[in-house]
Amino acid sequence: MSRKIGFIGCGNMAKAMIGGIIESKIVSPENIIASDGYLPSLESSKEKYGINISQDNKEIATQSDVVFLAVKPNMYEAVISEIKDAVSENTIIVTIAPGKTLDNIEKYFGKKVKVLRTMPNTPALVGAGVTAVCPNTEINKEEFEMLKEIIGTFSLVEQIEEKLFDAVVSVSGSSPAYVFMFIEAMADAAVIQGMSRDKAYRFASQAVMGSAKMVLETGKHPGELKDMVCSPGGTTIEAVAVLEEKGFRTAVIEAMRVCGEKSANM
């Protein structure tokens, strides 16, 4: 792939993307350029990945065929105002911010522009992310396939309707935090029972990863897989009963509801 890829913002998510792209070898490091207001982060990325760097966002927009806007949602309008005149009609803008619709982005630019809305998550840092994607009508089929190939280097790619993006934020964008809390709580309980902290984190983390893999690879309903573990009169059903008593499912559902609402109102 000969296209040049730019990143405005070079934080953890951008680095995860850059790492996946370079490792896949679909784009060479010299065809990637990144900008960031924090120079040490840029310099460490250049040293690690061999990419080009700049602190001029307009330079990124001018030199890149595909521009990832990897900045916080509250910075989008200002960054777009800065680069909009440097973006050509063939430049593709990729967004990763919750709450920023395709219509928002087009209005910020004040002109027709090719935009791919995405919602990745932090497991992309270890090549295990999932990213929702939705193109606007300016992106053609060939361009869309190219973009999915790029994103597929660091994540699974799922095309969805834009109206579902707030649900995506709650079920995958923000959910690693819930899972980390669950792993931490399980590890704490194991420590109470005498297990060392390092072993507790390994057991809890592997159990979560293995359980998720069973859902994905067996195709069985999560409830069916849960029932397989819950022997009559056994230990697991006792634990499940306590989780139900304490409102485990209700807490998760309510947390995701408010997360989606927050995303919709950003």
Q: Classify 1 as helix, strand or coil.
A: coil
**pLDDT on residue 162:** 96
pLDDT in tens, 38-51: 899 899 999 999 99
Closest to 1 in 3D by CA, of 155, 148, 159: 148
**pLDDT on residue 125:** 87
Contact 95, 115 (CB under 8 A): yes
Beta strands in the chain (DSSP E): 5-8, 32-35, 52-54, 66-69, 92-95, 114-119, 129-135, 155-159
pLDDT in tens, 116-144: 999 999 999 888 999 999 999 999 999 99
Q: How many residues does the chain have?
A: 266
Domains defined for the chain, CATH in brackets: 5-164 (3.40.50.720), 173-264 (1.10.3730.10)
Please work out, in degrees rounded to the nearest 5, the angle formed at the alpha carbon of residue 257 by the alpha carbons of 251 and 263.
135
**pLDDT on residue 199:** 98
Closest to 72 in 3D by CA, of 110, 52, 100, 45: 100
Residue 2 scores a pLDDT above 90 = no
pLDDT in tens, 63-109: 999 999 999 999 999 999 999 999 999 999 999 999 999 999 999 99
pLDDT in tens, 12-28: 899 999 999 999 999 99
**pLDDT on residue 266:** 82
Question: What are the φ/ψ torsions at residue 6 (nearest 5 degrees)?
Answer: -120, 150
Residue 1 scores a pLDDT above 80 = no
Q: Classify 195 as helix, strand or coil.
A: coil
Which uninterrupted H or E stretch holds 102? Answer: helix 102-109
- What CA–CA distance (Å, rounded) separates 100 from 96? 9
